A = this chain, B = another copy of it.
């Protein structure tokens, strides 16, 4: 009984991997099968169709990301400032995207290329994730931490874009992840904040790096 679930997961992982670098239309079941170490028709024992498989990859990618980020936010002390919360979300997003999962990469790269029927469910989940950030920015605005000349929606999407795009260029051999995270946090805080950054270069309390729940998808 457990074996079945493991095989299914292997197929999903393989599909995420292929999807992330070949694109929606370029994802062949034979490639997925090869990566999962079985024959292509075996996939049909676990998924009704190619599209269903891909849909689940896309869906679970963004869904797990949302869960992960939300988890990290919930772990913060309740009196954390809105900008600190945004920083924590930046770190959670980058860490998950770059260190853990093919899924988010697959989702992000193919969001614009999937056919409508798949997009429906995906968009719903993407919106749920977007809500997390929308809320973060609303809080910041309400607290007066967001500079007034910024359009909140544009600012939010620009930040999310900077993070999402990191999967395209980040390479573990060219600079550490921590370095990227530190830079991203710094830019985002300074980029959004009204305050002239009192604690400038001070390392700042690392309380945002909560715990290391390296929870693999599934």
Contacts and interface: CB of A to CB of B under 8 A. Distances in A.
Given A161-B164, A162-B161, A183 B169 contact: no
A201 B194 CA distance: 10
A47 to B, nearest CB: 20
Given A154-B180, A161-B168, A187 B192 contact: yes
Chain A, interface residues (CB within 8 Å), range: 35 or more
A79 interface: no
Given A25-B22, A160-B165, A187 B109 contact: no
Interface string A120-160: 00000000000000000000000000011111011101111
Contacts of A21: 112-113
A110 interface: yes
Chain multiplicity (copies): 2
Contacts of A118: none
A201 B149 CA distance: 7
A184 interface: yes
Contacts of A172: none
A154 B166 CA distance: 9
A153 B182 contact: no
B112 A168 contact: yes
A169 B161 contact: yes
A111 interface: yes
Given A26-B113, A109-B109, 8 more contacts: A24-B26, A112-B168, A150-B186, A153-B175, A154-B179, A155-B183, A161-B164, A164-B165
29 contacts: A20-B112, A21-B112, A22-B25, A23-B25, A26-B26, A26-B113, A109-B112, A109-B113, A147-B201, A148-B201, A149-B182, A150-B186, A151-B175, A151-B179, A151-B182, A154-B180, A154-B183, A154-B184, A155-B187, A158-B163, A158-B183, A159-B187, A161-B162, A161-B163, A161-B166, A186-B191, A190-B190, A191-B191, A196-B197
Interface of A: 20-26, 109-113, 147-151, 153-155, 157-166, 168-170, 174-175, 179-180, 182-184, 186-188, 190-193, 196-197, 200-201
